[in-house]
Amino acid sequence: MRLSLIFVGNFREKKFAEEVVTSSGIGLKGTFVERVENFRDCYSASRNQYDAACMLGILENKYDKPFLALFTEDIYIEGMNFVFGVAIPSVGCVVSDFRLRSRKKETYFSRLRKEILHELGHVVGLGHCKHPWVMAFSNSLEEVDLKSDSFCSKCRKKFSERIKVEW
Ligand SMILES: [Zn+2]
Ligand SMILES: [Zn+2]
C-alpha cells in the first residue's frame, strides 16, 4: 500500500512521521507530498477550530488515496469538542498535533505515533479495540498516554493483511 503523506502548513516533524509510517511493524510505502493548504473554508471562527470532515472532503478530491494529512491546528467533528484525528475507511485520515504537544519531546512523539497509527488503523478498516492497545478509543490526553503504541495481535494481523491485498 502506498500512502500519500501530506504535510499541511507548518507541520514540522516530517522525518518522524515518515519513520512511523514506514517502520517495519507497519511497512507502508509513502508517497510524500508537501502542501500548504489553508483550509479556509473549513475554519469555524466561532469555535476557532477546523472542521475535520470538511478537510477530509477537500483532501479526498485532491490526493491519491489512501492519505494521511498532518495538521497543526485544532480540529473537531460535529458533536465533539475536539478530536485528535479523524479517518474515513479506505480513503484517508487527518491527524492534528495541536493537542498532543508537550514540553517533553518524547511525550509528544509518543502521542503523535499513537494517533497516527490509530487513524491509519481506521483507514484500513479496523474498529476500536480494547485498552491498552493502540486502537483503543481515546478521548483525552491521559487516555492517549496510558495506551500502548502497538496493535493487539488480531488488529496487527488484520492490518498487515489489508495493506497487502488492498490498494
Ligand atoms: Zn478511533
Ligand atoms: Zn486490537
Q: What is the pLDDT of residues 38-84, one digit of tens each?
A: 799 999 999 999 999 999 999 999 988 999 999 999 999 999 999 99
How many angstroms does the Cα of residue 93 sit away from the middle of ligand 2? 19
What are the sequence ranges of the domains in the chain? 2-162
With bands split at pLDDT 50, 70 and 90, how would you rate the model's confidence at 25?
low
What mean pLDDT is predicted for residues 90-118?
Answer: 97
Give CA–CA dist 30/16, Å, rounded.
13
Q: How far is CA 36 from CA 131, 156, 161, in A?
A: 36, 33, 33
Q: Which ligand is nearest to the CA of 115?
A: 1
- Class of the 2-162 domain? alpha beta
How many angstroms does the Cα of residue 134 sit away from the middle of ligand 2? 8
| 119 assigned to active site | yes
Query: Annotated catalytic residue: which of 19, 115, 119, 161?
Result: 119
